């Protein structure tokens, strides 16, 4: 490699939120013509650090140099002027505006606003990098990967040459990820400095030139990707050696538990979300569900849990003695009243699974508060349960009367999974159970799920990381545009094969 030129130098950057130290005297260099992977567990301060570069936060202490000169980045506008553009994990797009309108948002160009000219420039950028964006399409009509493309075009339109991407592949298919990586490599070769925040080790190895690792808000080291391994990087992130293998015990005496036949679901707008879906989930087995985001996973789980209106088909619960109960047309209360113990870990933990502003005890009560005839609630049981979950799952919290919103992502998920498992379910539905979780927490969750499997629970595991699905699940059902694209054996299936199945039926989704 020729002589490296530092685009960004961060020196002694410190940032506090209330009493938590998010970044503690961090040093970080970002070079031109290089892709840097920023690694760290959740809460290690990666996003906070990058937010200070993009002007969302202002450091409490420390200095930032851009191209060797000290820079004060007080706002996103300042960041643009230094050529820094960030693509956030949660897209920063206005849904009711068009792509072009989103792209020019906030720009101070002289003269009148001429949307035609904007559209033309957007097209030029798209042509240069091979993007496919309709400038006049409204954001709410776009798929996740289209939205991400708009975000990237937005940053390029501003002439950024330092790009920061926060977990850009979390919502993409393998094919889309490949495309994105190709674009990023092209940009790197163009001389741009690129930072990517990710949890996926294989992506780090595949894409990055250098890795930098943060732990508990502190910088612990950086190295060339070629000279390290996934294991070493993980050990550095966690601070102690960890094993990276997911356990997969053989299923014991699997029996049909949930039988879904010809299930068809339409959403409120009348769009077909699931079409003619048929499969069986068995006890003592983990059934993985793979698919591009938004191709029916959510509707499928919610239909089984009694939260989604269905159009036709049947969902049968098979009891141990072979009797069958139809679940369609019943709400969660009715399903529980039938004696079916069904637990559901939804994708949206704080917006659906838990109530953020309530404490652990009150959240434990969500499932059980109706028990008994009394007019009043009983908080003794839930409190004991909360204390139990905190102890067993090593939830990091000041106490059981802390609002769950204050906990970190991994701990929130532990509370949620802990509650759902405490109900001694016979069916456990999980949606993106490890999304946004660091390695350590992810493994805790895999362990919990495996324990349930061993106890004879029928587990349905909706995941996005194919590597994990292939390591954890016994069978994998692949959805494509709301249809079953196939069911494969988790032990023998290959990643490219599953990836193809995810896109085979028509490829594009309408959601």
Which parts of 73-92 interact with other proteins (CB under 8 A)? 74-77, 79-80, 86, 88, 92
Q: Binding to other proteins by residue 468, rule CB under 8 A? A: no
Nearer to other proteins, 223 or 336 (CB): 336
Backbone angles phi, psi at 471, to 5 degrees: -90, -30
Residues contacting other proteins: total by CB under 8 A? 72
358 near other proteins (CB under 8 A): yes
Single residue of 12, 124, 190, 331 touching other proteins by CB under 8 A: 331
Contact between 317 and 274 under an 8 Å Cβ cutoff? The reply is no
Binds other proteins (CB under 8 A): choice among 3, 321, 322, 376: 376
Our CB check for other proteins shows the closer of 93 and 277 to be: 93
Smallest distance from other proteins to CB 120, Å: 17
Query: Which pair of structure tokens corresponds to residue 65?
Result: 């140099």
Dist. CA 39–CA 459, nearest whole Å: 31
Residue 131: CB minimum distance to other proteins, A? 19
- Selected from 7, 49, 122, 354, the binder of other proteins by CB under 8 A is 354
Measured from the CB atom, is 141 or 312 closer to other proteins? Answer: 141
**Closest C-alpha to 12, from 69, 68, 56, 52:** 52
Taking contact as CB under 8 A, which single stretch among the options 13-21, 128-136, 236-244, 250-258 is the one that binds other proteins? 13-21
Whichever of 220 and 307 has its CB closer to other proteins, that residue is: 307
Q: CB of 439: closest distance to other proteins in angstroms?
A: 22
Closest by CA to 9, choosing from 24, 30, 26, 35, is: 30
How far lies 54's CA from each of 22, 50, 216, 336, in Å? 16, 6, 21, 48
Give the nearest distance from C-beta 433 to other proteins in angstroms. Answer: 16
The piece of 185-193, 232-240, 327-335, 497-505 that touches other proteins (CB under 8 A) is: 327-335
**Gap between the Cα atoms of 309 and 66, Å rounded:** 54
Rounded-to-integer distance, Cα 285 and Cα 216, Å: 36
Which positions from 112 through 151 interact with other proteins, judged by CB under 8 A?
112-113, 138, 140
Interface with other proteins (CB under 8 A), residue from 6, 11, 16, 455: 16
Note whether 321 and 276 are within 8 A (CB).
no
Site for other proteins in 18-57 (CB under 8 A): 18-19, 54-57
Is residue 271 at the binding interface for other proteins, with CB under 8 A as the rule? no
Contact set for other proteins, span 398-457 (CB under 8 A): 406
Residue 359 pairs with which residues in a beta bridge? 403
Nearest Cα to Cα of residue 308 among 250, 349, 268: 268
Supply the minimum distance, in Å, between the C-beta of residue 219 and other proteins. 20
CB atoms within 10 A of CB 442: 22
Residues in CB range of 267: below 8 A, 6 or more apart? 273, 299
Pick the closer one to other proteins by CB: 113 or 244: 113
322 near other proteins, judged by CB under 8 A: no
Contact positions with other proteins (CB under 8 A) in 291-310: 305-307
3-class DSSP state for residue 240?
coil
104 binds other proteins (CB under 8 A): yes
Contact call for residue 97 and other proteins (CB under 8 A): yes
Q: Record the tokens describing residue 149, joined without a space.
A: 């493309």
Helices (H), 257-373: 297-304, 332-337, 360-368
Q: Binders of other proteins among 146-175, rule CB under 8 A?
A: 154
The CA-atom distances, in angstroms, between 224 and each of 9, 34, 194 are 18, 11, 15
β-pair partners for 476: 288, 488
Output the six-digit token pair for 14: 């410190």
399 is written with which tokens? 């106490």
State in angstroms the smallest separation of the CB of 421 from other proteins. 16
- Judged by CB under 8 A, the residue of 95, 311, 326, 489 near other proteins is 95
Q: According to CB under 8 A, which one of 246, 355, 455, 487 is a site residue for other proteins?
A: 355
């Amino acid at each position: 490699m020729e002589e490296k030129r530092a685009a960004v130098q961060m020196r002694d950057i410190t940032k506090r939120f209330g009493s938590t130290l998010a970044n503690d005297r961090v040093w970080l260099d970002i070079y031109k013509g290089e892709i840097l992977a920023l690694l760290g567990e959740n809460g290690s301060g990666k996003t906070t650090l990058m937010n200070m570069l993009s002007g969302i936060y202002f450091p409490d202490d420390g200095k930032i140099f851009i191209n060797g000169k000290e820079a004060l980045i007080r706002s996103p506008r300042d960041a643009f002027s230094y050529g820094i553009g960030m693509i956030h994990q949660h897209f920063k797009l206005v849904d009711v505006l068009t792509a072009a309108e989103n792209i020019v948002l906030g720009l101070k160009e002289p003269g009148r606003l001429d949307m035609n000219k904007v559209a033309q420039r957007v097209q030029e950028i798209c042509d240069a990098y091979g993007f496919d964006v309709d400038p006049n399409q409204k954001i709410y009509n776009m798929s996740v990967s289209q939205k991400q493309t708009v975000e990237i075009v937005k940053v390029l339109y501003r002439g950024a040459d330092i790009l920061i991407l926060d977990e850009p592949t979390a919502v993409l298919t393998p094919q889309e990820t490949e495309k994105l990586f190709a674009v990023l490599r092209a940009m790197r070769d163009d001389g741009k400095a690129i930072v990517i925040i990710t949890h996926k080790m294989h992506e780090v190895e595949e894409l990055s030139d250098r890795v930098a690792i943060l732990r508990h808000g502190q910088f612990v080291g950086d190295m060339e990707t070629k000279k390290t391994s996934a294991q070493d990087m993980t050990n550095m992130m966690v601070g102690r050696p960890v094993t990276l293998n997911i356990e997969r015990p053989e299923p014991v005496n699997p029996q049909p538990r949930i039988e879904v036949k010809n299930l068809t679901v339409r959403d409120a707008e009348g769009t077909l979300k699931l079409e003619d879906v048929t499969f069986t989930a068995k006890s003592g087995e983990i059934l993985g569900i793979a698919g591009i985001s938004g191709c029916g996973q959510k509707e499928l789980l919610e239909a089984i849990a009694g939260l989604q209106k269905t159009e036709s088909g049947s969902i049968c619960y098979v009891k141990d003695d072979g009797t069958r109960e139809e679940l369609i047309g019943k709400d969660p209360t009715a399903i529980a009243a039938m004696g079916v113990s069904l637990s559901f870990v939804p994708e949206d933990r704080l917006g659906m699974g838990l109530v953020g502003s309530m404490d652990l005890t009150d959240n434990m009560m969500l499932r059980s508060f109706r028990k008994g005839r009394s007019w009043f609630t009983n908080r003794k049981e839930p409190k004991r349960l909360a204390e139990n979950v905190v102890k067993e799952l090593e939830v990091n919290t000041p106490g059981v009367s802390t609002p769950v919103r204050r906990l970190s992502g991994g701990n929130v998920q532990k509370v949620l999974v802990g509650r759902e498992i405490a109900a001694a379910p016979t069916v456990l539905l999980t949606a993106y159970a490890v999304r946004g979780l660091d390695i350590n927490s992810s493994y805790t969750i895999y362990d919990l799920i495996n324990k349930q499997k061993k106890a004879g629970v029928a587990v349905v595991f909706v995941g996005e990381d194919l590597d994990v699905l292939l390591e954890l699940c016994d069978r994998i059902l692949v959805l494509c545009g709301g249809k079953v694209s196939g069911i494969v054996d988790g032990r023998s299936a290959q990643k490219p094969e599953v990836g193809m199945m995810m896109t085979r039926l028509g490829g594009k989704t309408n959601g």
